[in-house]
């Protein structure tokens, strides 16, 4: 044994006696550290969740509780990774598994449809599917799981563990899954105008033919728009469409979108 090797052994023994770890040991335990998982639904939305004994592993089921529709809402990647598409008629329906590396995976069941190709790399906050009720499901919801080396883990969001209530509307979670993805909100209506600025007189940039997943960069006040008995003077700047749309056409009950900065 060389003098350097003897020093390393002595150092390891001393650290062990002190209850500490060597750098190599720290690296080994850190390899399994969980990603900083976010909620699997769009930024600013509030959902409620529950768990029942028939659920596989340590799943939680999420439904919207802020007045918006659960069905049709984008399901988002809670952390970056590689997405794989599956189908199980009598169980999970359309579902996606995201491999985050270091043994960590997340599962998203009962999707109405897929939004990414099989094997695609996805960013945290990216839309991976549309929430639905396919497979063995009694209503639209996101069945969500976090697994380490194939074993279901107690679900943590932003590093904090969630409760496991037996029914909905006991606990609520507002999403801060706001960055880097392909969408964080969804529009409603048809032939919705996207304009160069937050005014009805601003030049038309494009039109949204129907409900569309959009990424809102920021929002500001402009002209008041009336629709379906409501009025709203807040407008959202859409990153991918390069213009502004009235918040009245964003699928969220608040006039000013939560979690979105002012322009």
Q: What is the DSSP letter of 161?
A: E
As averages over each run of 10 residues, the pLDDT of the chain (263 residues) reads 50 48 35 83 92 87 94 92 95 96 96 92 87 96 97 95 97 84 75 95 92 85 92 92 93 83 81
Q: Which one of 2.70.70.10, 1.10.4100.10, 3.40.640.10, 3.40.50.2000 gives the CATH number of domain 46-174?
A: 2.70.70.10
Q: Return phi, psi of residue 28, to 5°.
A: -65, -45
Give the residue ranges of DSSP H helices in 73-143: none
pLDDT tens for each residue of 92-150: 999 999 999 999 999 999 999 998 899 988 888 888 999 999 999 999 999 999 999 99
H/E run at residue 152: strand 151-152
Q: What is the pLDDT of residue 22?
A: 36
Q: What is the pLDDT of residue 121?
A: 86
Domain ranges of the chain: 46-174, 185-249
pLDDT tens for each residue of 64-77: 999 989 999 999 99
Give the other-Cβ count within 10 Å of 164's Cβ. Answer: 16
Task: Look up the pTM and report it.
Answer: 0.63
């Amino acid at each position: 044994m060389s003098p350097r090797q003897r020093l390393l052994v002595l150092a390891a023994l001393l650290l062990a006696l002190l209850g500490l770890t060597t750098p190599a040991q720290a690296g080994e335990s850190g390899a399994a550290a969980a990603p900083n998982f976010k909620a699997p639904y769009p930024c600013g939305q509030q959902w409620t969740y529950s768990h029942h004994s028939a659920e596989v592993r340590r799943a939680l089921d999420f439904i919207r509780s802020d007045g918006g529709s659960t069905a049709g809402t984008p399901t988002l990647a809670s952390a970056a990774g590689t997405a794989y598409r599956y189908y199980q008629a009598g169980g999970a329906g359309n579902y996606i598994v995201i491999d985050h590396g270091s043994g960590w995976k997340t599962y998203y069941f009962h999707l109405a449809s897929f939004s990414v190709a099989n094997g695609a790399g996805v960013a945290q906050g990216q839309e991976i599917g549309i929430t639905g009720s396919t497979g063995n499901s009694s209503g639209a919801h996101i069945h969500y799981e976090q697994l380490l080396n194939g074993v279901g883990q107690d679900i943590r969001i932003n590093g904090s563990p969630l409760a496991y209530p037996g029914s909905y509307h006991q606990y609520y979670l507002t999403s801060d899954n706001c960055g880097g993805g392909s969408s964080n909100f969804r529009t409603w209506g048809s032939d919705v105008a996207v304009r160069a600025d937050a005014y009805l007189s601003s030049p038309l940039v494009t039109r949204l033919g129907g409900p569309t997943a959009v990424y809102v960069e920021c929002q500001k006040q402009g002209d008041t728009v009336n629709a379906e008995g409501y009025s709203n003077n807040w407008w959202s700047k859409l990153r991918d469409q390069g213009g502004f749309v009235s918040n009245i056409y964003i699928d969220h009950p608040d006039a000013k979108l939560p979690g979105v900065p002012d322009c």
